[in-house]
Chain A
Amino acid sequence: EVHLVESGEGLVQPGGSLRLSCAASGFRFSSNWMHWVRQAPGKGLVWVSEINPDGSTTRYADSVKGRFTISRDNAKNTLYMQMNSLRDEDMAVYYCARGAAGASGLDYWGQGTLVTVSS
């Protein structure tokens, strides 16, 4: 069974940094694109970033480009998001999600981890 478990939840001041992790199990992690999607309290889903199976291609939403870095360790079956220069508007629940093989959907999601940005 596919499982995605995010960690790294925390409270950080504006301008600070935080690293999120997403531990994957139940599938061949090195075969799938992986994504981060966030949801601010009471708001809708927003796509943040994606990474290809071998980590050589990364893409970002304009709102986080230059501040966030997505990466993966296929040996550890883990996805990461390094978040720097955090802003108030980055406060959200961050979900990691698996890209469906050969299709456009995100077929499995983690339970989410909360990032709070506040002074």
Chain B
Amino acid sequence: QSALTQPASVSGSPGQSITISCTGTSSDVGGYNYVSWYQQDPGNAPKLLIYDVSNRPSGVSNRFSGSKSGNTASLTISGLQAEDEADYYCTSYTSSNTWVFGGGTKLTVL
């Protein structure tokens, strides 16, 4: 199972909005509404931000939102803050009854 494709890095200034894409195939992202997103600070465990494409767990800021179109899922962070600087990963269920992560995206807040 090949990893989902994410941009290696994105950047934005405080207050701006950024979007991170996660591209798969019809056998994973496109075939199921089982996409989730995670934030990971260096040296720490990942934190769930979005599940089932667009749902936020309680306690996660509404500045984080998720969507999907075809084989590509997206994470949008609005009102960018310095504390958002971290690595972000998507994951999807697959037709092989397994899960696959994206390669990760490093967000830099300028």
Please state if A100 and B48 are interface contacts (CB–CB under 8 Å).
yes
Which residues 85-119 of A sit at the B interface, judged by CB distance below 8 A?
95, 100, 103-107, 109-112
Please state if A110 and B51 are interface contacts (CB–CB under 8 Å).
no
Tell me the interface secondary structure of chain A in the complex: strand
Chain A residues, Cβ within 8 Å of B35: 104
Which residues 39-98 of A sit at the B interface, judged by CB distance below 8 A?
44-47, 50, 59-62, 95
Kindly report which residue of chain A lies nearest to residue B94, judged by CB atoms: A47
Asked whether any CB of chain A lies closer than 8 Å to the CB of B89, the reply is yes
Tell me the interface secondary structure of chain B in the complex: strand
Give the residue among B36, B98, B104 with the most A Cβ atoms within 10 A: B98
Which residues 85-99 of B sit at the A interface, judged by CB distance below 8 A?
87, 89, 91, 93, 97-99
Interface size on A, residues (CB 8 A): 22
Asked whether any CB of chain A lies closer than 8 Å to the CB of B102, the reply is yes
**Partner among B33, B57, B98, B101 whose Cβ is within 8 Å of the Cβ of A45:** B101
Interface size on B, residues (CB 8 A): 29
0/1 string, B17-38, CB within 8 A of A gives 1: 0000000000000000111101
A45-B101, A59-B98 known; A104 vs B45 contact (CB < 8 Å): no
Please state if B46 and A104 are interface contacts (CB–CB under 8 Å).
no
Please state if B91 and A47 are interface contacts (CB–CB under 8 Å).
yes
Please state if B93 and A45 are interface contacts (CB–CB under 8 Å).
no
Q: List 17 A-B contacts (CB under 8 A).
A: A37-B46, A44-B87, A44-B101, A44-B102, A45-B38, A45-B101, A46-B101, A47-B100, A50-B99, A62-B1, A95-B45, A103-B51, A103-B55, A104-B34, A105-B48, A106-B36, A106-B91
